[in-house]
Chains A and B, each alone.
Chain A
Amino acid sequence: MQVYLPIAEMSVNGLVILTLGALVGFLSGLFGVGGGFLMTPLLIFIGVPPAVAVATQSNQLVGASVTGAIGHWRRGNVDFRMGLVLLIGGLIGSVIGIWLFTLLRRIGQIDLAISLLYVILLGSIGGLMLAESLRAMLRQRRKAGVRRKLHQHIWLHGLPFKMRFQKSRLYISALVPVAIGILGGIAVAILGVGGGFFMVPAMIYLLGMPTAVVPGTSLFQIIFTTAAVTVLQAWTNHTVDGMLALLLLAGGIVGVQFGTRFGSALRGEQMRALLALLVVGVCIKLFVDLVLPPDDVYSLVVPTAS
């Protein structure tokens, strides 16, 4: 089934795109990450221009995160209060991020910056998560049934502007989620992804939120950041391909359902370990691409009209 993508100006196999959408949707329902960090490289791999891939991907994430967030909300797993505080940070962060993006593009090293940022972020987050979840699994096997603390209190939580987050069973400084939101917003603007792969671990480890509430809250927040990015991209760069977005959405909303269901059957440590493996895997792939000699050291770019 060949479908012509009007903005990308190319023909693709519709079934391949539907399948990609479903797979990434599954992961996003499972982990509460948007899946942008997986989908964007995949779309570029099949020949979609990078600018179109990034912008259209954010459009698809709006739909996928709505479905995912509703699914988690029905199970009572969304902390709206926390989501809104994160969102405030996210909006501040995306303004800073857009400024940084323009600066890096002027220097001419935006591609390298994106790749390196991915490798560093994914590598450190994935490594830490993997180590932690493996330790948790081992600990549980050794002394099952011992009641642990809800979360560790670290000095960050003692900062001013303390807020009560009932759903997350937290009473901590609002500055911490705002700061995480800011970092997430910067990631959204520079990397063109929802930022879930960064927010989810930060919510678990820095905020100490219960794992069950994290994916739903993350998805709730991602709806707004990706919606803002989609509108901005369509408005300024004309890079949102409606046809591609529809195909990805159709695949994604099916996949995300199965992801959400499958996720609630998994235990917290198992889910974290799986996400960590995925994150580390993508990190290794990106690192290898940076280090191995490319097939052709030359590449073509159509210069943007300036």
Chain B
Amino acid sequence: MTRLALVLAALGALLSGAAVRPAHAQALVADLTSHLIAITTGFTGTDVVLFGAIESDGDVIVVVRGPETPVEVRRKERTLGIWFNRSDITFAEVPGFYAIASTRPIEQLARPEVLERNQIGVDHLTLEPIDPTGQVDPFRKALIRNKQREGLFPVAAGTVTFVGSRRLFRTTVSFPSNVPTGSYQVSVFLMRNGQVQGAQTTPLLVSQLGVSADMVDFAYRRSLAYGIIAVVVAVMAGWLGSVAFRRV
């Protein structure tokens, strides 16, 4: 309830801002309720609300992309009755997280070329192998399938709903607990007559905070000390365990 009130208040502010400067009105304005996802010890995944306004009728598509890394896809084959990795292809820039939400199914909003140009939809993502040899397509499909199984490329597209009129919209983006840390991009597209009429990109940071962030920091900056402390803690715990159970 309070969240909805906040969103409405923010929307009101946005709209009044648009009303003041009608000459420079943007086709599309959108923002997130939070630009930081803090991962603490109790983190089990989270939702972020995106809200915005469009100046005239149209449809809205929201694309959330996580930090890009190279990913190697390996294929097992059977040799002498044993399955082992025989071939692999490395894709250069694979988003660590990729989710979309839209007011209508994206296939109804634009032709595949338009979707591909704007990287909208998992099937239209540009995933280029570093060394393109042999059949790339089955590897690309396998990459998407494995990411979907891990929950990092959500299978079901989210829905963007209009609030009241056809001018205000909102959607909820869900992040699973295994969401990779780093810089995210949230892109909002205004679609009309099969074309992109306006777009806006908002940054989103996923970062560890508190105890877990300190641990990561220590593990990377003072790795030797971290290792020694890990061993000392383990020895202490082991010794404490034997003292605690010393009744016979």
Taking beta carbons and an 8 Å cutoff, which residues of A are in contact with B? 2-4, 6-7, 9-11, 47, 59-60, 62-67, 70-71, 108-109, 111-112, 223, 227, 230-236, 238, 240, 242-243, 245-246, 249-250, 252-254, 256-257, 261, 290-294, 296-303
Contacts and interface: CB of A to CB of B under 8 A. Distances in A.
Contacts of A254: 241, 245
Given A253-B241, A294-B76, A298-B142, A233 B227 contact: yes
A74 B81 CA distance: 49
A201 to B, nearest CB: 24
B231 interface: yes
A234 B74 contact: no
A2 B224 contact: no
Question: Of B146, B178, B181, which is in contact with the most chain A CB atoms at under 10 Å from its CB?
Answer: B178
Interface in B156-188: 177-178, 180-181
A109 B76 CA distance: 12
Interface in B220-238: 220, 223-224, 226-228, 230-231, 233-235, 237-238
B62 to A, nearest CB: 25
B72 A300 contact: yes
B143 interface: yes
Interface stretch (B1-9, B27-35, B107-115, B211-219): B211-219
A71 B178 contact: no
A64 B238 contact: yes
Contact of A297 (B39, B44, B75, B224): B75
Q: Which of B40, B43, B77 has the most CB of A within 10 A?
A: B43
A144 B248 CA distance: 31
Contacts of B76: 294, 297-299
Interface residues of B, number: 63
A162 B145 CA distance: 61
B82 interface: yes
A262 to B, nearest CB: 13
Contact of A66 (B42, B215, B216, B235): B235
Contacts, number: 191
Nearest to B96: A302
Interface string B106-148: 0000000000000000000000000000000011001101110
B240 interface: yes
Given A70-B239, A300-B147, 4 more contacts: A10-B177, A234-B224, A296-B146, A297-B76
Given A47-B178, A243-B41, A291-B82, A6 B216 contact: yes
Contacts of A59: 230-231, 234
Nearest to A300: B146
Contacts of A253: 237-238, 240-242, 244
Given A11-B44, A299-B146, A245 B234 contact: yes
A231 B231 contact: yes
Contact of B228 (A231, A236, A294): A231
B150 to A, nearest CB: 8
Contact of B215 (A109, A243, A256, A294): A243
Contacts of B235: 62-63, 66, 223, 227
B70 interface: yes
Contacts of A2: 42-44, 177
Interface stretch (B17-25, B83-91, B195-203): B83-91
B187 to A, nearest CB: 24
Contact of B72 (A63, A246, A297, A303): A303
Given A9-B181, A230-B234, A243-B212, A238 B223 contact: yes
Nearest to A110: B85
